[in-house]
Structure formats: structure tokens, C-alpha cells
Amino acid sequence: MTERPLTAMIDPAVGPPDCAAYGRAGGWRGVRAALRDMTPDAVIDVVTRSTLRGRGGAGFGTGQKWSFVPKDPAATRRKYLIANADEMEPGTFKDRLLLEGNPLQLIEGMIVAGYAIQAGHGVIFLRGEYHVALDRLTRAIADARATGWLGADILGSGFGFDIHVHASGGRYICGEETALLTALEGKRAQPRSKPPFPQVGGLWGAPSVVNNVETLCNVPHIVANGADWFRALGLGPDGGTKLYGVSGRVRRPGTWELPMGTPLREIIERHAGGMRDGYALRALLPGGASTAFLDAGQVDVAMEYGAVEKAGSRLGTGLAILLDDRTCPIGMLHNLEHFFAQESCGWCTPCRDGLPWVERLLAAIEDGTGEAEDLDRLADHARLLGPMGRTFCAHAPGAMAPLASGLRLFRADFEAHIHQRGCPLRQAA
């Protein structure tokens, strides 16, 4: 399990392995190495040196995040590790593959991460629509408990850890870690002011770490094989493999585990099979709906954090949404902004009032009732809502990423909609 550690045991024809089969295939090595041979600080150190960064979109250093959890004796009484499996980013379906294909890998990663921060309880915050994943996670957790991988005194180490699955009520905002914690407490899902940060005061006021599913699934492989091994898997400065994916009018939409830094062109042409006959690539969102558009001339960018940022966007979740030359970019933007407006938690004014206004302006332009001044209004929203720090969380800035880049790349399309009183593509159909 060296080239594709995350997906090596995933076989849809067979289904997820049980604890015994998982162990025979090389599973549980990370737990054994951590609990038998390493201190919690040593686990944090190897994960930090591996350069593992959060795979949920933010890209924050995983080991660094863990290091913020207090280590004083009083803080060890109650800590929580939460796996963010609320995969609601449009165009993103990578975590679903891991949850349905090999849930024990996530469980092992959570045990190791829980040991590293000395948390005794883990929670998997699961997207409510992931019914298959819920069933398989529930079975896997029961199997792990029955075979001694979860519970008190794992491997005779004195460390105990258990996991609970919480099925989300279905809100995009729960992808924001503090809103997720608030929802777990039974309250309305709204982000919290920081500080305190979750690592100090999180779930029910206790130190808490929230990590993405893919992030946690990397942890046991790093602990079992070492930081140097993990770094060598990447093609550039970022170590490891990454679950990349493509949706849109390609021949083979899907998701694949590839070395971090794989060129976007290779992902689209080799793995997704290229564009379907009769369609040409016009632009794309490289990492889900909340990333900025790149144009077709930027497909040679390496899919790693720094390179995508230099190109003018973000790696995000690493799953690209492709726009072809026969799809209206204004209609696509309207669809995206409708989603973001609908999913605002309503806590802060710029997001609560600004995003519905953006959606209404785009709807008017698409329907043929827009005016030239509407482009200035959209640009003002992108300028005012886009920078981080002007809202309580990153929801509004994320929503502005495709809008701001779309205004720049598709200016002629916007003007044609206004001058021709509707969508030219729809009129020509």
C-alpha cells in the first residue's frame, strides 16, 4: 500500500473489509505503532513532519492544528476528536468513496489522532443523505468494538477511545468547524466568534479538534510508514496522495487517488477521459463550488496548494467542476449563488442580505431583465464580501470566489445577456 494507500483496500465488487480482513491487508499497523511505540507528542511530530495538510478545503497543517490542544493535566479529562464527514460542497464526493469503501481506515485514523491529542471520544459528523455510509460506519464501529479496537485500554496501552456517528440535519454551513460544533450541541448551526479556537474551547467548552475524513484516513499510513515515505508520495512541496475528481461533460466523471501535485490536464484527459465529443472546455472550478474559476488555458497547473493559489484560485477539495462551451456561464453562476444564498446561516448581515441580492441580480440578467448597472452592483458585492474577516466565517468569501472570477472571465457573456435581453445560448436553441 505505497502508491495509493487511501484506496488500496476499496473494491466496490467486494464491499468494505471487516476488522479481520482489514488487518490481513495491512490495517491496524498505525494504531499498533502509535500505542505501543510512540508518545502522543511523537505522533504529532511525525504528522507535522509529513507535511499533511487538511484535505477538506482549508489546507491547514494537521500536526500544527493538533499541537494547539492544551497538554496540561486538567485538560486531559475531556477532549473530543470530530471527523467532518458533512460533505456538502457542490461537486465534491471524495469522502463518500472513503466512507463507503473502507470505513475502518477512518476509524483507525481517528484512534491514532485521538491518542495524539489524548481525546477519549470521537464523533463522526456525517452528511444526512449518506445513508449507505451511515450503515457501513455503524457496522464497522460495532465490529471494532467487538474485536477490541474501540473501547477501554486498546492493545493494553491504557488508552481508551470510542466513536459515535451523528447524522447531520443537512446544512452546508456545518462544514464550518465551529458551526458543526454548535450543531452537535443541539443548537442552530451558526459559526462562533474566535477566540477561543476549538482546540482550546470547542464541543461543550472542551478542547476539540475537527479534521476532514480524507485527512484522518492519511494518519495511520503516516504513522506506520514514516514522514519521509509520505512526503515522497507527492510530486512537489506537498506530501502524500490526494483524491482528485472531475464532474461535468467529460467521458468518465469520477474520483481517483493520485500523487499530490498531479497536473490538472492529466486528471482531465487521462483519468476523466477528456471532454465528450462536441464539447470543449471553457473554464473550471478547481476545488469545488467555492473556488475561483480558472480558464481553459490554465489546465497545466499542478494540483497542489501553492500552485493553484498562484494561478488565482484554491485547491479546495481537489474536485474540479468543468464548464463547457455549450453551457451558459451566467446560468452556472446563478445556480451556484442560489445555493450559497439558500445555505447562509443568517447570522451576519453581509452574508444574510448580500447573497440573496447577488442571486436576484443574476436571475434578472439570466431572464433578460438585467441592466448594465447590475454588473457594477455584482462587482461591489464581490469586492465587499470577498475578503476574509468581514463576515463571521468563510461562507460569503467562498461564494464570492466564483462570482468575482466569473465577472472577469465572462464579461462578454454578461453584456450579451443584457443587450439581447436573455441568454444567447437559450435563444439559439
Question: How many angstroms separate the Cα of 42 from the Cα of each of 118, 227, 340?
Answer: 12, 12, 41
> Over the range 48-83, which residues count as b (16 or more CB within 10 Å of their CB) and which as e?
bbbbbbbbbbebeebbebbbebeeeeeeeeebbbbb
Does 181 fall in a domain? Answer: yes
- Residue pair 268/281 in contact (Cβ under 8 Å)? The answer is yes
Does 9 fall in a domain? Answer: no
Both 301 and 344 in one domain: the answer is no
Domain closes at, from 233, 257, 273? 233
Looking at residue 155, what DSSP letter applies?
G
Candidates 108, 106, 116; CA nearest to 43 is 116
Domain closes at, from 324, 349, 364? 324
Strand 241-247 to 254-259 pairing: antiparallel
- CATH code at position 401: 1.20.1440.230
Q: Which residues contact 197 (CB under 8 A, 6 or more apart)?
A: 68
Q: Where are the alpha helices (DSSP H) in 200-250?
A: 213-225, 227-233
- CATH code at position 266: 3.10.20.600
What's the order of all strands across the beta sheet hosting 254-259? 254-259, 241-247, 319-324, 281-285, 294-295
Cβ-based neighbour number of residue 102 at 10 Å: 26
Angle formed by the axes of helices 411-419 and 329-343, nearest 10°: 100
**52 vs 31: CA distance, rounded Å:** 18
Both 64 and 186 in one domain: the answer is yes
Does 56 fall in a domain? Answer: yes
pTM: 0.94
Both 70 and 211 in one domain: the answer is yes
The number of domains in the chain is 3
Cβ-based neighbour number of residue 276 at 10 Å: 13
**pLDDT tens sequence for the chain (429 residues):** 448 999 999 999 999 999 999 999 999 999 999 999 999 999 999 999 999 999 988 888 999 999 999 987 655 568 999 999 999 888 899 999 999 999 999 999 999 999 999 999 999 999 989 999 999 999 999 999 999 999 999 999 999 999 999 998 778 888 889 999 999 999 999 999 888 999 999 999 999 999 999 999 999 999 999 999 999 999 999 999 999 999 999 999 999 999 999 999 999 999 999 999 999 999 999 999 999 999 999 999 999 999 999 999 999 999 999 999 999 999 999 999 999 999 999 888 989 999 999 999 999 999 999 999 999 999 999 999 988 888 889 899 999 999 999 999 999 999 999 999 999 888 775
Does 14 fall in a domain? Answer: no
C-alpha cell, 421: 435581453
Which structural domain range is residue 159 located in? 19-233
**359 vs 341: CA distance, rounded Å:** 7
Domain closes at, from 216, 233, 250? 233
Strand 254-259 to 281-285 pairing: unpaired
C-alpha cell, 16: 468494505
Both 253 and 273 in one domain: the answer is yes
- CATH code at position 174: 3.40.50.11540
Both 86 and 39 in one domain: the answer is yes
Both 38 and 165 in one domain: the answer is yes
Both 143 and 225 in one domain: the answer is yes
Separation of first and last alpha carbons in the chain? 51
- Residue pair 238/304 in contact (Cβ under 8 Å)? The answer is yes
